[in-house]
Structure 1
Amino acid sequence: MTSPHPSTVSGGLRWLALLLAVLASGLAAAAEGVLVLGRISDDPRRHYEQLRPLLDYVVPRMRSVGIREGRVLMASDPQQMISYLRRGKVDWVTETPGTGLLLADRAGARPLLLTERSGSREYRTVFFVRRDSGITELSQLLGKTIAFQSPASTSAYLVPAMVLRERGLPMNLMVSPLEGGDVGSVGYVFANTGSNLATWVHKRLVDAGSFSDQDWESLQRMSDSYRRDLVIIHTTEPVPRAMELVSANLEPEVAERLKQVLLGAAEDPQARDALRQFFRTTGFYEPDARDRAALEALRRGARDVREALE
């Protein structure tokens, strides 16, 4: 068997390189004109149905900046979304402020607008206990246990953990509410849902719980026994409810047009259903000095929590 002539091999390699270059340019061209909306999700099907209508509203209004198509891309966790943003696979992300600021820190995402949901622009975190627990202030949680919702929650993990750490209270992760806390720290556990969290406090599986004031109001409407037996011992300063971010690689004119379309959506009857499906959004707005100060405090505190506890 004879070996191929060197010139034949080199010629074949040149053709292969040319083919790969053409394919690469074709892929790049196919990506032009596409706006990709991303979301970190543990339920992609449900979240897709919530995201798609607003994307379909936005895309036709961005033709002036070359946008012709919209796509949705889900990430399973913040690390995957950070990777998507760094590689330019996502243009626009909607998130809670805690996770949004993490994407800004680690992937260079740029905050675009804040989001009003159900007519509310902000929430506060509340700490609550059983009325008969004897606990009336945060310092009394030392040696006790508290339930948070999940590590991804701003109002039901990052903010309350920040508050406890600011007060010098050591914290210790528990694998179960049945584990019990240590004398010299606040034991914390994740309940996964707000209803679980409240039930654990009510049934004395943990001493305290913490989530948003909106969750507290829903709880009070839901159950007479919760309203009778549970009491708030501390309420935090307000934090913006949600935020929209764009990739550091998104062209400035595209980002600016996206901002203008979103700012005008609340006044457009054609956007009403899409906004409602988009996590009950009632509008978008630009942050003022108070919002920026709250976000900066959250950024610093969340960074401290992640470094200390995770």
Structure 2
Amino acid sequence: MRRFAFALLCLCCLLPAGLPSAAAPVVAPESDDGVLVLGRVSDDPKSHYDQLKPLLDYVIPRMASVGIRSGRILMARDLQQMSSYLRRGRVDWINETAGNAALLEQRGVAHAFLITERDGAQRYHSVFFVRRDSSIQSLRDLVGHSIAFQSPYSTSAYYLPAATLLEQGQSLELLLSPMDKPAPDRVGYVFARTELNVTTWVHKRLVDVGVLSNLDWLNPARMPPAFAQDFRVIGRTEDVPRALMLARTGLDPKVEARLNEVLQEAAQDPEAGEALRRFLGTARLLPIGTEDRRSLEWLGRGVQRVRAEVE
């Protein structure tokens, strides 16, 4: 029943920009000239549709010069389904985290063309932390200890720190629960599901080490001040783009170029203010620099190692 409800929501989210739902087709065609489809991997289609729709409504009228007449939103239940949509041309552009962007680029179904700045941050990194009274002093001391990641889809609280540990020669193994212990020559890990659980599990000594992004480390909702005073940082990863805008492989170059222009110019357009704000708190979209491309390629290799050696 839950799968049916999700599918029904996804179909309801496949709506033309600017038209009421009653007039919307329920299935995106494999090829539909003049229609630009914005995609999203979602476990909450209704909420995410409300975030995406204002940006789509802003973009579509500004794409007329390259033959775009209307737009739609299409949700995918996971990255595998989104990869299929991109490969088949059912989705034209999406916004994703750096880890998922790297996976989509590796699969050859999409390429990143802009960085998304949110809450004043274009880039971020992962922070490893322990209790102040822990014997662990650095990442080299993690063997035989347990670490809490947030979720298997998180860039800053899984892919990025796991790739960093693999690069340093550590071996990772999945634990059955926070109470489980790793082999003496490995680093055990569990998924805590939320950032607050990560901090709580470390504070209650259920795990030895936690990982958060540097932005979550400073967020009192995810790192309570009462916990923070009992923690210390033992390491960090390199910086990677916080989020990226991607276009599907094979999208008409004229359409992609115009989309790039519209999205970059939006930060200077008062009419785009509300649409950007509702689009996950986006402030502006910026070109990908050389250093950003290098870090994304490094992360892509790291994610590939995580999937091959850990999962």
**Normalised TM-score (structure 1):** 0.88
| Distance in 1 of aligned mates of 2:55 and 2:182 | 45
Show the 5 A alignment for 1:1-310: 31-219=32-220, 223-310=224-311
RMSD: 1.6
Amino acid at match of 1:172: E
Give 1:165 shift: 0.8
2:99 touches 2:159 (CA, 8 Å); kept in 1? yes
| Distance in 2 of aligned mates of 1:29 and 1:151 | 30
Q: Per the alignment, do residues 198 and 234 of structure 1 end up closer, same or farther by CA in structure 2, a change over 3 Å counting?
A: same
Q: Per the alignment, do residues 128 and 29 of structure 1 end up closer, same or farther by CA in structure 2, a change over 3 Å counting?
A: closer
Give 1:32 shift: 2.0
Give 1:220 shift: 8.1
Q: Per the alignment, do residues 267 and 229 of structure 1 end up closer, same or farther by CA in structure 2, a change over 3 Å counting?
A: same
1:83 touches 1:107 (CA, 8 Å); kept in 2? no
**Structure 1 gap ranges (5+):** 1-26
Superimposed CA distance per residue, residues 200-219 of structure 1 (whole angstroms, 9 cap, x where no aligned partner): 11111100011200000004
Secondary structure of the residue that 1:53 maps to in structure 2?
A: helix
Give 1:287 shift: 1.3
Give 1:222 shift: 5.6
Secondary structure of the residue that 1:175 maps to in structure 2?
A: coil
Secondary structure of the residue that 1:36 maps to in structure 2?
A: strand
2:39 touches 2:94 (CA, 8 Å); kept in 1? yes
Q: Per the alignment, do residues 309 and 28 of structure 1 end up closer, same or farther by CA in structure 2, a change over 3 Å counting?
A: closer
**Normalised TM-score (structure 2):** 0.88
Superimposed CA distance per residue, residues 260-281 of structure 1 (whole angstroms, 9 cap, x where no aligned partner): 0000001111111111111111
Percent of pairs identical after alignment? 53
Superimposed CA distance per residue, residues 137-164 of structure 1 (whole angstroms, 9 cap, x where no aligned partner): 0111110000001111111101100111
Give 1:60 shift: 0.6
Amino acid at match of 2:295: A
Give 1:175 shift: 2.6
**Structure 2 gap ranges (5+):** 1-27
Q: Per the alignment, do residues 114 and 227 of structure 1 end up closer, same or farther by CA in structure 2, a change over 3 Å counting?
A: same
| Distance in 2 of aligned mates of 1:81 and 1:270 | 30
| Distance in 2 of aligned mates of 1:229 and 1:214 | 18
Higher Rg:
1
Give 1:29 shift: 10
Amino acid at match of 1:60: P
1:127 touches 1:209 (CA, 8 Å); kept in 2? yes
Q: How many residues align?
A: 284
